Amino acid sequence: MSVNLYVGNLPYRIDEDSLRQLFTPYGNVETAKVIKDRQTGKSKGFGFVEMTTQAEADAAIRALNETAMDGRNVKVSIAKPREERPPRRSGWDDRGGGGY
C-alpha cells in the first residue's frame, strides 16, 4: 500500500520533476504533485509525494524534514486524509436572491 506524504514550505520555483528527484534517493516515488493556484498557475509552496512503502516514506521524512532548500526549511510528514468540503456557493444567497 502506498504512503502519501505532505511536503510543505517548498520554494515556489520547484516543479513536479524536481520534487520527484528530491525523493527518489529514498525509494520508489509513485507520484509527485506540486499544488498550484488555479488562476495564476504558480506554486502555492506545498505538494504531495506518494511513496511505495512505509519504510521508504519514513526514510524520506527522516532525511528531508527540516532541510534547507533555497532558504526555506522544507516540512515533510504523513499526509492527513482529505476532508470532504461542502460545495462552493456561487455568490447567490440560499433564498435564491443576489443579496442586494
pLDDT at 96: 58
pTM greater than 0.85 (yes/no): no
List pLDDT tens digits, range 51-88.
999 999 999 999 999 999 999 999 999 999 878 878 87
The pLDDT value given to residue 90: 63
Tell me the domains of the chain and their CATH numbers.
3-78 (3.30.70.330)
Under the banding of pLDDT at 50, 70 and 90, the label for residue 93 is: low
Contact, 31 vs 81, CB < 8 A?
A: no
Helix 54-64 / helix 16-23 crossing angle, nearest 10 deg: 100
Whether the pLDDT of residue 98 is over 60: the answer is: no
- What's the confidence (pLDDT) of residue 91? 61
What percent of the chain clears pLDDT 90, i.e. is strictly above it? 79
Nearest to 25 by CA among 50, 60, 58, 55: 60
**Mean pLDDT of the residues in the chain:** 91
Return the residue matching grid coordinates 505532505: 6
